[in-house]
Structure 1
Amino acid sequence: MKSNVKLIAVASGIIVVMLVAIIVIIVMGNKANRISEKALETGSEKLQTAEQVSVKDSEESIDALLEKEKKEAEEKAASSQKEQEQEKPVKKEKLSNKEIKTIFKDSVFVGDSLTEGIEVYQFLSKSNVVYHRGMSVPQMGDLSDTIVGLNPKQVFLWFGMNDLIYFSGDADKFAEAYAEQIKALQKKLPDATIYVNSILPIRENAIKKKSVFKYYEDYNGALEDMCQEMGITFIDATALAEAHSDQFEPDGIHISSTFYPYWFKNVAEKAGLL
């Protein structure tokens, strides 16, 4: 009997131990699962954070690369433009005295006091300038022998200022007289090319003193029409003179020496000598 009781007590103890062990194993397993789940959750969060950081870093890197490429492209374009500007020849607004003498060495300028200034200011020599102060177109024939004797390749006529008074503002009569003189000169110099220069704008102070000067635009219009009919180049310097209106003499008619280089540049371009 005692033996059976002892046996039962041992079996009960073993069962209790086994139950305790099972409980411990279950508790430990649940704890491990919780730890694993927590670790997994933490790892996932870290991974997401890492991915976010990685994407952000990538985006920033791409933006920085694009900005760098844009900057390099802009610098390259600016450098290229600068090189082109340096290589592009600067267009001069006027001719030097040496250029004037070289370009017009075979030319003769014919006219009144404005033409006289070409020699007075030593832009060209007497062999390139024929003038008479106060001369009008009808008297141009008086200079024809001198002009022919110089045997020029180009003849630049520059009349009109005095003709405003001579023809009392009648542009048509002025153009008719001019055409007659040109035809006569062409017969004597058949191989020379003749050009006609426009009358320079007359300042308001001069027009107030002599109202007939206000017709200079009509005269220029008649000259342009005449040249077109005759197949002659008309060299208009109106815009040029207006752009340099500060270089007129106080009388509002004549020009200072500093304007001539600009005028010569315009003449050379229109005549195709540049």
Structure 2
Amino acid sequence: MIMKKMNSTLLIGSIALVLAACGNEPASPNPQQLSPQAQEQKGASAGATTTSFQSLFQNSVFLGDSITEGMSFHDVLDEGNVLAGAGKTAEFALKDIDELSRRNPKHIFIQLGSDDILWPTDNPKEYSLKNYAKLIGLIKEKLPQADITLLTVTPVTSEAERQEPRYGKINEYNQGLKELAGKEHVGFIDLSPIFSNGSDLYDSDGIHFKPEYYTRLLDLLKDQVK
């Protein structure tokens, strides 16, 4: 998965991060064709959006794996608002409780499972959700005033699923996650609306995402922190 700090031992081989730009429509100028003034205005607009999100989510922490880590990797949120890493599972995230407590956020968004479903055990879903429940319990104990929201595992492209068939379990895992959220009385957000318009949000591996995905994600979540 995204290699910012270390290679994930759960995936076969290493996945190179390629920040390729989306293909432009024929009638639309590419960035090289924009006038300097237009490029400056476009950059200012993107910067304003990022600044707005950083302010809005300043009391939040996103806990997760390398997909979540993309928020700070792409500078959409500050590193202090992201507690994530490549290969992280619900079990591994249990070790982050002390650091999470130190940051003392008002809102905690958890997005784990993309690595969990690849875990080499007889029932990865059952194993993961058991540790997910432990994680929620510890957060409630250490940060009783914090709001906890679970985010669904994001889909992968058909090519990525062809290469790794276990990604075909994502919908089943997300259903289990929804049931867990209900049982633990925490928030639950289905991220599928982000992908409903068919935009090309994926990076070259079909698993991770370009910066646009993260701005859409935060736009979807902004009402949770108001």
User: Into which bin does the TM-score normalised by the smaller protein fall?
Assistant: 0.7 to 0.9
Compute the TM-score of the two structures, normalised by the length of structure 1. Answer: 0.62
Alignment partners' CA distance in 1, 2:96 and 2:125: 23
* Matching residue of 1:184: 138
* Matching residue of 2:214: 260
* Matching residue of 2:162: 208
Quote the offset at 1:168 in angstroms: 6.2
Residues 141-187 of structure 1 deviation map (CA, whole Å, 9 limit, x = unaligned): 11111111101111111111101101566433322221111101211
Quote the offset at 1:102 in angstroms: 1.6
Compute the TM-score of the two structures, normalised by the length of structure 2. Answer: 0.74
Alignment partners' CA distance in 1, 2:145 and 2:129: 23
- The alignment partner of 2:200 has SS state of helix
Alignment partners' CA distance in 2, 1:109 and 1:186: 16
Gaps of 5+ in 1: 1-94
Change (3 A) 1:213 1:127: same
Matched, 1:113 2:66: yes
Q: How does 1:83-94 map to 2 (within 5 A)?
A: none
Letter in 1 for 2:209: I
**What is the identity percentage for the equivalent residue pairs of Structure 1 and Structure 2?**
25
Residues 129 and 177 in structure 2, CA contact (< 8 A), matched pair in contact too: yes
Residues 233-273 of structure 1 deviation map (CA, whole Å, 9 limit, x = unaligned): 1111113124344111121111111111111111223x2x3
Q: How does 1:5-154 map to 2 (within 5 A)?
A: 96-154=49-107
Count of aligned pairs: 178
Residues 186-215 of structure 1 deviation map (CA, whole Å, 9 limit, x = unaligned): 111111111111101111111111111100
Change (3 A) 1:168 1:122: farther
Alignment partners' CA distance in 1, 2:157 and 2:123: 16
- The alignment partner of 1:199 has SS state of coil
Alignment partners' CA distance in 2, 1:225 and 1:205: 29
Residues 200 and 241 in structure 1, CA contact (< 8 A), matched pair in contact too: no
Residues 100 and 123 in structure 1, CA contact (< 8 A), matched pair in contact too: yes
Which structure is higher in RCO with an 8 Å CA cutoff and minimum separation 6? 2
Matched, 1:195 2:119: no
Moved over 3 A (4+): 167-170
Gaps of 5+ in 2: 1-47
- The alignment partner of 1:216 has SS state of helix
Residues 116 and 125 in structure 2, CA contact (< 8 A), matched pair in contact too: no
* Matching residue of 1:224: 178
Residues 65 and 89 in structure 2, CA contact (< 8 A), matched pair in contact too: yes
